[in-house]
Structure 1
Amino acid sequence: MFNWNDLTYFLELARQSRLMPAARRLRVDHTTVSRRIAELEKDLSVKLFDRKPDGFVLTEQGHRLFAIAERIELEAGEIQESIRAAPSAPTGRVRVASMEGIGAFYLAERFAELAEKEPGIVVELVTERHLINLTKREADISISFVPLSGQRLVMRKVGQFRLALYAAPDYIRRRGLPQTVDDLPAHMFVDYVEDLVAIQPVHWLLDVLEPANVAFRSTSMHAQQNAIARGAGIGLLPLFSAKSNPRLIPVLADEVTVTRDIYVGVHEDLEFMGRVKMVLRHLTDVFKRDADYLTKL
């Protein structure tokens, strides 16, 4: 009989494809992961992984076990909710992945609202420049500006946000205020670091122009906003962040309108888990409630 605990090591290695990342996720040494996988293969008398130069790849038998182990993982995760939490509200941690800007300037406050209403749920907000892989369980829920692709993912468009050009009074005093879109090429801009843009729709300034004069670049939208507010140049910012700084003045608000859709994604195995369902419902509600805040100056 195999050790049921070994399925945890199997699932993580299958999702990460390498020993070190799997070990970090499990908070053990990589040799432990290797040993537990070897024991599982011995107990089941099957080869679960092919060891390739670029990592561990599931064999046919490994794929079969992966599907079964995922179902076991899901059922195990529901035990506490079904037994201990019933009939009270769902409890537990839900990891939500998103981009840094919307995470810091918008989502953090909305999850604080959820914490007040549902103190049993702890949201872990993970912000990254790249898209999180829900299939590998890097997060339970994803909030992104593009729909994710992957097996057994459920994606929904839940809203939209607008971006507008902004500048600070210091910049306007020095360089003047553009009167038309044709005036923009002569101005200084704040922009992303071009070769480090992981998700192309985030490089939204290109929807307006490719600036010839850039005073400051950053991979961080928060840093860009601070630079714009200090007078470094004009920048394209989401309304949900720019509204937080009264020093920012809209530029050509009627002429320049850029929008992005907001998508919420979840693996279909987690969609109806109580605590995940609660967070998904909250997100749907706040994006609907804040539609004007997100899209109107």
Structure 2
Amino acid sequence: MKIVKHSGNIVDYNPSKLRQSLLKSGASNRQVETILKTIEEEIYEGISTKQIYKMAFSLLKKICNSHAARYNLKEAIRLLGPAGFFFEKYIARLFAAEKYQTLTNFILQGKCVSHEIDVLIKKDNSIAMVECKFHMGKDANSDVKVPMYILSRFNDLKDRRHIIYTRNDKVLDCWIVTNNRFTADAIAFAKCSKLNLLSWNYPEKNNLKTKNDSNHLYPVTCLTTLSLSEKDKLLVLDVILVKEIINNSECLERIGLSPNRIQNVLKEASELCEYI
């Protein structure tokens, strides 16, 4: 059976790929097989991957909210837009979880011009700049022009002394992070130029997806028990990660949730982060 991807490309329906993503959500083998059987009874020639995703998400949600939330991770990261400001805060949280000191939206003077840096990180007295390339489009990729441009900014900054954590700091390294993917040329150029890349699926064993799953760094936008407007209110309150809700029901009270709904949100958050 042929299905239509977001890009418009027509491919064969691959139940194995769907099975794997459902298992990663935390659903059991029996639950996954039931979902696959239901979907296979309803799909048709030419159905879009978006419609299949919606069906799978809805079926997961009936089983367990936290399974659906984990399955919804990539879309949840996209909901940190559209401007990308909250995505930058989210990336800072990911580095902070790995024991980095972090600063966001910091202006540094280069040799030629000044630069607004999305995130600065420090560990073991080494400081790096992190540039975030946020895409709202699901099929948008960061091509080779992105690392080429950011390398020029890094080169303008790296040989100068800056006032960051002390009055005599140097920016010694550079990261580029995107919520989608890098093209093959972008990866090749970054490797050649010694730039660090982080995306949804790169590097293979330490990417956005694996960092989330291993450290439970899920953004609040993945929670199924909150509306879009409620998620936006939490982001404005600087509540970026699901972890930050647990043992902090005050933030849920501040956005107007009833005691019963607060309990539902906390239950989903605890299950998602495996604090049971």
Q: What TM bracket, shorter-length normalisation?
A: under 0.3
Q: TM-score, normalised by structure 2?
A: 0.27
Relative contact order, higher structure (CA 8 A, sep 6+): 1
Q: TM-score, normalised by structure 1?
A: 0.26
Q: Report the structure number with the largest CA radius of gyration.
A: 1
The structure with the largest strand share of the pair is: 1
